[in-house]
Structure 1
Amino acid sequence: MCYQKNHCCMFFLKLLSIFVFLCFVILQTQLLGVLLAAASNFLISVSLSIQKCAHLRLACQTEPKPYYTSKLWWCGIILLGLGEVGNFTAYGFAPIALVAPLGCVSVIGTAVISVLFLKQTVRAADILGGTLAVAGTYLLVTFAPNVPQELTARRVQNNLVSWPFLVYVILEIITFCILLYFYKRKAVKHIMILLMMVALLASLTVIAVKAVASMITLSVKGKMQLTYPVFYIMLILMATSCVFQVKFLNQAMHLYEATAVVPINFMLFTTSAIVSGVIFYQEFQSAALLSVFMFLFGCLLSFLGVFVIARNKKEEHLQVPYIDCGRIPGI
């Protein structure tokens, strides 16, 4: 069993090493953004697993307390915040279509953590899925659009009032309200409803994060952008959407396994982020047809990889529970 775990970890580490090396060869100017996004998404996978562990421990208590009273849960939240800060920084060095798909690292990280700490056995599907996900992510990185990274406040203002973005926002608000109605009024807490609301909020977050990070970067370089009102509008949008993302994502983690939440969240988040980048920042406006096709093929491989990892992924019934709930008198 230990040999299988060590072999699995070494295999995934080799895949990540090859991926980082290829990124260095092909995208030296965007390497910092790639490395930041990869490291941050792995940290996010650790934080989600810690939060799930906290929920399980609280559920084993005779008198369960609210999850926000758990120090372990807050530790997971802090790690999640650090991971999101890393992702925020990465958007200042690379386009949305390049950073968003690197959430694949969180899926692979969750699979490794499940094997090492949650006592799950190594499956051939995990190795196959990890290989497909890394190969797909490599294609995404290789054929990502090469767009200018400097986004001025005036350009952000013009994009905010463009008709494609206005139509997109209206459709997104209508969809979100419908999902929220089923969630609140009908008490439907299906994993797809929760994570679709997270993805819709994430699309706005990605747009705001990219704008804020770029304007801060330009201001540090001497081109002051912080005096424009649009900077504070995007800052408020970023903070608000992040708070509600955490709320719905934490609800999903409370109700479902991390091995189910993380892959589905990755697929929905990546799709919404790429679509928002295409609509708001026109990232594929001058891309060649072959690059667009290979990028979409990379998306397909990544999604197939996370599907293979998550397919029939269930907790095993162990003789000894991996979380010690203590002995209950009389039982």
Structure 2
Amino acid sequence: MQVLHQEKGTFLRNIMGHHSHPTGCLAPGFSATTLGMDVRPQTQLLGVLLAAASNFLISVSLSIQKCAHLRLACQTEPKPYYTSKLWWCGIILLVLGEVGNFTAYGFAPIALVAPLGCVSVIGTAFISVLFLKQTMRAADILGGTLAVAGTYLLVTFAPNVPQELTARRVQNNLVSWPFLVYVILEIITFCILLYFYKRKAVKHIMILLMMVALLASLTVIAVKAVASMITLSVKGKMQLTYPVFYIMLILMATSCVFQVKFLNQAMHLYEATAVVPINFVFFTTSAIVSGVIFYQEFQSAALLNVFMFLFGCLLSFLGVFVIARNKKEEHLQVPYIDCGHIPGQKLTGKIQPDSYSSRYGTLNNEDDSVKTQS
């Protein structure tokens, strides 16, 4: 009986000791999920808060830049946007937000940081109502509610992975067979899409944004590796002397440049209300997949956690689509343009530029081929 009493006391101390030591061991048969406890380290919580704040800062910066453009366009003598102090203020906030996002990858998993980009979409929707005097829609409230609920599930059921990502671990992951297979498949897919884009001149929004997403998967892998190695170096564990750090740095910069190129092409050809939600879904999905394959972020996660995390992603996706659905962009009032007189041509008079078309008007005697193209 005395031995049984001692074993019982040891069992209770193991359970009670977990409250003061989040990383302590539990008794056999018990887990943090069973006891309803949160063993997520404080560094991961810091990454979540940093990512959310950075994305909100990005939404504020974009609204400030748009406000600066509107003010400059209303002036009698419009000046270049880079002469506006308000525009530069928005740029500074944008840089700070991106730096914060970069730093967040050093503290939290990719699968958690990437979906928090929905905070930027929610923030932009509500800030535009407050500062740009746009009308609040029921879709904005519904979409914001869905996105917030999804974000809560993401944070709650995100994978709990070790945050000490050393250069040696990055080297081992680079030559692991799952990542090599993933990279080969990604390169083949990207080449096929690039063939249709360049050779066949297929500039569909899905083609462009799929190429952006494939590049983004490499970007987030490199960003997390670089940010984690810098974080460890600041803490005293020098990682910057390893060649893999500079390899990942070059990969990050290169993939970022081409990613921005294709994204700008999509923004040029299509409305932002179509590009933003699709790009968010593609980017988040590719980031999560790359985190699972390269960093094994869901390796030890319970099935329920994985399901609830994916359900949170789905709610966030739906929220972003609802906010962007049927939301028309505001266009400035462009005055009619008097084209004057062109010898030998009879014009239709004053022509109103169409913001949705690349053509400013037509001539009465244009040939059939031009009419067919228009």
**Bin for the TM-score computed over the shorter chain:** 0.7 to 0.9
Cα separation, 1, equivalents of 2:143 and 2:48? 21
1:170–1:81 Cα change, 3 Å: farther
After TM superposition, the structure 1 stretch with the greater mean CA deviation from structure 2, 155-164 or 258-267, is 258-267
Query: How far off its partner does 1:70 sit?
Result: 9.9
Structure with higher RCO (Cα < 8 A, 6+ apart):
1
Aligned twin of 2:21: none
**Offset, 1:219:** 1.6
Contact 1:107–1:266 under 8 Å retained in 2: no
Question: What secondary structure, in the 3-state scheme, does the structure 2 residue paired with 1:312 have?
Answer: coil
User: How far, CA to CA, are the matches of 2:338 and 2:236 in structure 1?
Assistant: 56
Moved more, 43-52 or 199-208: 43-52
Q: 1:86 to 1:321 in 2, by over 3 A?
A: farther
In structure 2, the partner of 1:282 is: 296
Does the 8 Å contact 1:52/1:258 carry over to 2? Answer: no
Which of the two has greater helix per residue?
1
In the superposition, relative to structure 1, how do residues 158 and 182 fare at CA in structure 2: closer, same or farther (>3 Å)? same
2:325 maps to which of 311, 314, 329: 311
- Inter-CA distance 97–46: structure 2 relative to 1 (3 Å threshold): same
Cα distance in 1 for partners of 2:126, 2:196 equals 35
1:105-125 deviation line (CA, Å, top 9, x unaligned) = 011022124434555421111
Instruction: Give the TM-score of the pair, scaled to structure 1.
Output: 0.77
**8 Å CA contact retained: 1:153, 1:228:** yes
Residue-by-residue CA offset, 1:258-294 (whole Å, 9 max, x unaligned): 3333222211111111100000000000011111111
* Structure 1 position 316, deviation (Å): 6.1
Q: Is the 8 A contact 2:273 2:325 kept in 1?
A: no
Structure 1 residue corresponding to 2:342, chosen from 303, 324, 328: 328
Shift of 1:71: 9.3
The answer to which of 52-61 and 275-284 deviates more is: 52-61
In structure 2, relative to structure 1, the CA distance for the partners of 1:142 and 1:109 (3 Å cut) is same
SS at match of 1:150: coil
For the 8 Å contact 1:58–1:67, the answer to whether it is kept is yes
Does structure 2 retain, via aligned residues, the 8 Å contact 1:263–1:306?
A: yes
Identity over the aligned pairs, expressed in percent? 98
User: Mean alpha-carbon deviation: is it higher for 199-208 or for 278-287?
Assistant: 199-208
| Alpha-carbon displacement from aligned partner over 1:208-266 (angstroms, at most 9, x marks no partner) | 11111111122222222111111110011011111222222233333333333322221
The answer as to whether partners of 1:263 and 1:307 remain within 8 angstroms in 2 is yes
Q: Is the 8 A contact 1:48 1:80 kept in 2?
A: yes
Q: What's 2:94 paired with? A: 80
Q: Distance in 2 between matches of 1:142 and 1:134?
A: 12
- Superposed counterparts of 1:29-178, under 5 Å: 29-48=43-62, 79-116=93-130, 119-178=133-192
Do the aligned partners of residues 183 and 82 (structure 1) sit closer, same or farther apart at CA in structure 2, a change above 3 Å counting?
farther
Alpha-carbon distance in structure 2 between the residues aligned to 1:64 and 1:167? 53
Question: How big is each residue's C-alpha offset from its partner over 1:23-62, in whole Å with a ceiling of 9 and x where there is no partner?
Answer: xxxxxx4332112211222233345556778999999999
Deviates more, 1:248-257 or 1:274-283: 248-257
Q: How many angstroms apart in 1 are the aligned matches of 2:60 and 2:109? A: 25
Question: Judging changes above 3 Å, is the alpha-carbon distance between structure 1 residues 252 and 326 closer, same or farther for their aligned structure 2 residues?
Answer: farther
- Point out the more displaced range, 279-288 or 45-54: 45-54
Relative to 1, partners in 2 of residues 1:282 and 1:79: Cα closer, same or farther, differing over 3 Å?
same
Unaligned runs of 5+ in 1: 1-28
Q: Computing the radius of gyration over CA atoms, which structure comes out larger, 1 or 2?
A: 2
Question: Residue 136 of structure 1 contacts residue 300 of structure 1 at CA under 8 Å; is this kept in 2?
Answer: yes
Change (3 A) 1:217 1:65: same
Deviation at 1:75, TM superposition (A): 6.9
Question: Which shifted more, 83-92 or 240-249?
Answer: 240-249
Instruction: Name the counterpart of 1:211.
Output: 225
How many aligned positions are there? 302
Q: 1:69/1:104 Cα in 2 relative to 1: closer, same or farther (>3 Å)?
A: same
Q: Deviations over 1:162-219 (max 9, x none)?
A: 1111111111112222222233333333332222222111111111111111111222
With the length of structure 2 as denominator, give the TM-score of the two structures. Answer: 0.69
